[in-house]
Homo-oligomer: A and B are copies of this chain.
Amino acid sequence: MQRNSRFAVGVHATALALIAQTQRKGKPVTSNAIAAMVGVHPVHVRRVLGTLREAGLVESQPGPLGGWELSRQPSEISLYDIYLALEPELPFEMPARAPEACCRFAPDLPQVLADVMDDAKRALQQHLSSVTLEQIVGWQWDARSDDTARQSCSNLDKTGKPSSNGTLGIQS
């Protein structure tokens, strides 16, 4: 646990959803499969992806053939979209402060600092906006072409079932 992982989980999960869309048409990835591959609890996956659904990035289907799919073109989903949907604000927020706290000494410092933090947020936003899910999965294909054989992992959707062992073998 610990250290906010929603963004990482969101990116990982949506990337897996996209890969699934192109790999096995008609059968979207399930929360359990994502959870097993990302290494978190299925409920957490649903919570994160549920938030992304509210933002219009993904869709879910219940039932035996259910799971998660992107609801936009992968080229239209940037890391910034995912971040913004999952986190209330970018890092480098100046904490709200009582204005009378500063004095003759440095009356404008709070505003200058707020501007500096805004610059940092803008730089970050710019970078995150420039990376799309389509690119990420593309890089993944590139990397994969260099690969040798991999061990198979049959019946992926079944793995990570909470009732099986409960911990998924994840250590804190």
Report A's interface with B, CB cutoff 8 A. Answer: 3, 5, 7-8, 11-12, 15-16, 19-20, 23, 36-39, 79, 91-95, 97-98, 101-113, 115-117, 119-120, 123-124, 126-128, 131, 136, 139-140, 143-144, 147, 150-153, 156, 169-170
Shortest beta-carbon distance, A114 to chain B, in Å? 10
Candidates B20, B101, B116; contact of A39 at CB < 8 Å: B101
Count copies of this chain in the complex: 2
Residue pair A116, B8 in contact (C-beta under 8 Å): no
Residue pair A150, B101 in contact (C-beta under 8 Å): no
Within 8 Å CB of A156, what residues of B? Answer: 103, 105
Residue pair B37, A102 in contact (C-beta under 8 Å): yes
Residue pair A103, B37 in contact (C-beta under 8 Å): yes
- Taken together as a complex, chains A and B put the C-alpha atoms of A139 and B109 apart, in Å, by 9
Residue pair B95, A37 in contact (C-beta under 8 Å): no
